């Protein structure tokens, strides 16, 4: 029973992937939705614990104009 629950959870999350991955040409379609003036952040962390890549994306909507601002920090 303990092994059944993680298996069912994994199946639930992977069933939606088949609609986004095209097996013939190995492409992936990702569609993102923002709320007004919402900020998204993502980071890649090295095994030592240091952040080596960070991106912050913000969508700004004002008076019929949409602007997407991205700030990328990369440590080499």
Per-residue pLDDT of 25-72, as tens digits, reads 656 555 666 566 677 788 888 888 887 888 888 888 888 888 888 888
Spatial separation of the C-alpha atoms in residues 51 and 73, rounded to whole Å: 9
Contact assessment for residue 61 and residue 50, using Cβ atoms and an 8 Å cutoff: no
Domains in the chain: how many in total? 1
Higher pLDDT, 72 or 9: 72
Residue 1, judged by CB atoms within 10 A of its CB (0-12, 13-18, 19+), counts as exposed
Distances (CA, A) of 69 to 17, 36, 38, 40, 72: 28, 13, 11, 11, 10
Q: Domain range holding 59?
A: 4-74
Rounded Cα distance between 39 and 58, Å, is 4
């Amino acid at each position: 029973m303990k092994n059944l629950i993680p298996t069912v959870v994994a199946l639930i999350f992977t069933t939606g992937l088949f609609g986004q991955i095209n097996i013939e040409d190995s492409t992936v379609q990702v569609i993102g939705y923002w709320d007004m003036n919402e900020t998204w952040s993502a980071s890649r962390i090295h095994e030592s614990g240091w952040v080596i890549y960070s991106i912050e994306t913000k969508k700004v909507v004002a008076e019929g104009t949409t602007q997407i601002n991205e700030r990328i920090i990369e440590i080499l």
